[in-house]
């Protein structure tokens, strides 16, 4: 064999590396052990986690109600995550009336107040039906909100945790959900570990770690971070999704089984049932469009599969 022939053979072997199917894993199959439920879609069967993010906007109440009722009737929604106002707003009342489990988020701003314990007392009294409270969300990264450093956050979280253990021991606290793209979220989670997030300070029976996961990098980093530093804690993915409605179904089909299998996420919340109609940074995540006017309301392809709609008409 000449050097030239060898080179050709070597190049051929190298080029075969470009065949991504040969060298890439396939998505895990949907089995009962995956913890996901099966949903039929035009793109085939997908594994779905029946949880959603709902924004507290009372102007779209009827649209929300229609979509959630249809999803619930098909077993495709069991619970929602909702940012809390200081009172029981109409969206909370509507969700509660449908018998869906709610997880409330206490806003980042309130964590910096002078008395976070009083904040908890107020929310527990106002929302006695909530078993899990999420304390903050993307505290250092959420746009258009006052930023909270992770040091400030852990200080407030510790105070709240101690208070809850003494006053409301059956209440489960969820950590802030860290950022869902790149390395930022997992680095912040690791910083929380460095600042005391461990079973000696926070019982793994009393708290759940919340994370947002949108990208492949964030996913893998969270897997590593959980394995190495937080293996004893339960993990819930409090936001996942994609901005392109045409990719909603494929995102769930390819990503959810991996979140469940590799990250052991007990739940995955889709962001969001509705995330505005016109904000280019958020609107595409929505499962429903134009919920203000029921006769104009439409669904993304995933939304259609979840409510059983074809061509805009409920079956």
Looking at the Cβ atoms of 232 and 312, the one nearer to another protein is 232
Q: Which residues contact 235 (CB under 8 A, 6 or more apart)?
A: 208, 209, 210, 211, 222, 226, 263, 264, 265, 266
Least distance from C-beta 59 to another protein, angstroms? 32
Q: Is 78 in the site for another protein (CB under 8 A)?
A: yes
Looking at the Cβ atoms of 19 and 295, the one nearer to another protein is 19
Respond yes or no on whether the N-terminal peptide bond of residue 272 is cis (omega within 30° of 0).
yes
306-315 contacts: CB < 8 A, separation 24 or more? 306/39, 306/48, 306/70, 306/71, 306/74, 306/76, 306/77, 307/67, 307/70, 307/71, 307/74, 307/76, 308/70, 308/74, 309/70, 314/70
Q: Which of these, 59, 68, 62, lies nearest to 273 by C-alpha position?
A: 68
Q: Is 13 in the site for another protein (CB under 8 A)?
A: yes
DSSP state of 60: G
Q: Is 96 in the site for another protein (CB under 8 A)?
A: no
The one segment of 111-119, 146-154, 255-263, 304-312 that binds another protein by CB under 8 A = 255-263
Looking at the Cβ atoms of 152 and 204, the one nearer to another protein is 204
The one segment of 1-9, 57-65, 83-91, 134-142 that binds another protein by CB under 8 A = 1-9
In the chain, what's the furthest Cα-to-Cα distance?
82
Quick check: 188 and 150 in contact, CB under 8 A? yes
Least distance from C-beta 99 to another protein, angstroms? 13
Q: Is 6 in the site for another protein (CB under 8 A)?
A: yes
Q: How many residues bind another protein (CB under 8 A)?
A: 51
Q: Is 221 in the site for another protein (CB under 8 A)?
A: yes
Q: Is 220 in the site for another protein (CB under 8 A)?
A: yes
Binding mask 115-154 for another protein (x = CB under 8 A): ----------------x-----------------------
Neighbouring-strand partners of residue 267:
236
Q: How far is Cα 238 from Cα 315, in angstroms, rounded to an integer?
A: 30
Q: How far is Cα 216 from Cα 291, in angstroms, rounded to an integer?
A: 31
Binding mask 296-315 for another protein (x = CB under 8 A): --------------------
227, 244, 296, 310: which one binds another protein (CB under 8 A): 227
Q: Is 263 in the site for another protein (CB under 8 A)?
A: yes
Binding mask 233-252 for another protein (x = CB under 8 A): -x------------------
Applying the rule CB under 8 A, the residues between 168 and 197 that interact with another protein are 172, 183, 186-187, 189-190
Helix axes 150-167, 184-194, angle to 10 degrees: 60
145, 181, 264, 298: which one binds another protein (CB under 8 A): 264
Write down the residue that tokens 């206490």 correspond to. Answer: 106
Where b means 16+ CB within 10 Å and e means fewer, 174-207 reads: bbbbbbbeeebbbebbbbbeebebeeeebeeeeb
Q: Which of these, 117, 185, 103, lies nearest to 157 by C-alpha position?
A: 117
Q: Is 165 in the site for another protein (CB under 8 A)?
A: no
Looking at the Cβ atoms of 40 and 216, the one nearer to another protein is 216
The two tokens of residue 295 are 């006769």
Q: Which residues bind another protein (CB under 8 A)?
A: 1-3, 5-7, 9-10, 13-14, 16-17, 20, 22-25, 32-35, 78, 131, 172, 183, 186-187, 189-190, 204-205, 216-217, 219-221, 223-225, 227-228, 231-232, 234, 258, 260-264, 266
């Amino acid at each position: 064999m000449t050097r030239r022939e060898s080179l050709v053979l070597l190049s051929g072997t190298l080029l075969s590396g470009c065949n991504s199917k040969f060298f890439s894993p396939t998505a895990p199959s949907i089995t009962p052990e995956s913890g996901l439920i099966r949903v039929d879609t035009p793109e085939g069967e997908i594994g779905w986690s029946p949880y959603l993010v709902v924004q507290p906007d009372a102007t779209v109440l009827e649209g929300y109600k229609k979509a959630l009722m249809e999803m619930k009737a098909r077993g495709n929604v069991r619970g929602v995550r909702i940012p809390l106002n200081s009172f029981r707003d109409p969206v909370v009342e509507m969700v509660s009336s449908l018998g869906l489990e709610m997880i409330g988020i206490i806003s980042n701003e309130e964590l910096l107040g002078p008395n976070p314990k009083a904040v908890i007392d107020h929310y527990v009294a106002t929302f006695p039906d909530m078993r899990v409270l999420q304390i903050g969300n993307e505290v250092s990264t959420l746009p258009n909100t006052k930023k909270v450093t992770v040091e400030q956050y852990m200080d407030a979280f510790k105070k709240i945790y101690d208070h809850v253990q003494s006053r409301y021991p059956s209440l489960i606290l969820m950590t802030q959900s860290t950022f869902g793209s790149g390395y930022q979220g997992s680095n912040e989670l690791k910083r929380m570990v460095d600042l005391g997030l461990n079973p000696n300070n926070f019982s793994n029976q009393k708290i759940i770690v919340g994370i947002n996961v949108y990208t492949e990098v964030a996913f893998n980093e969270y897997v590593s971070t959980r394995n190495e530093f937080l293996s004893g804690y339960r993990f819930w993915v409090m936001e996942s999704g994609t901005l392109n409605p045409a990719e909603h179904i494929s995102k769930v089909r390819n990503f959810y089984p991996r979140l469940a299998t590799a990250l052991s996420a007990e739940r995955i919340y889709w962001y969001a049932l509705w995330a505005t109609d016109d904000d280019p940074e958020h609107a595409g995540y929505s499962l429903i469009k134009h919920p203000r006017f029921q006769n104009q309301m439409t669904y993304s392809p995933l939304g259609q599969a979840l409510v059983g709609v074809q061509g805009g008409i409920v079956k």
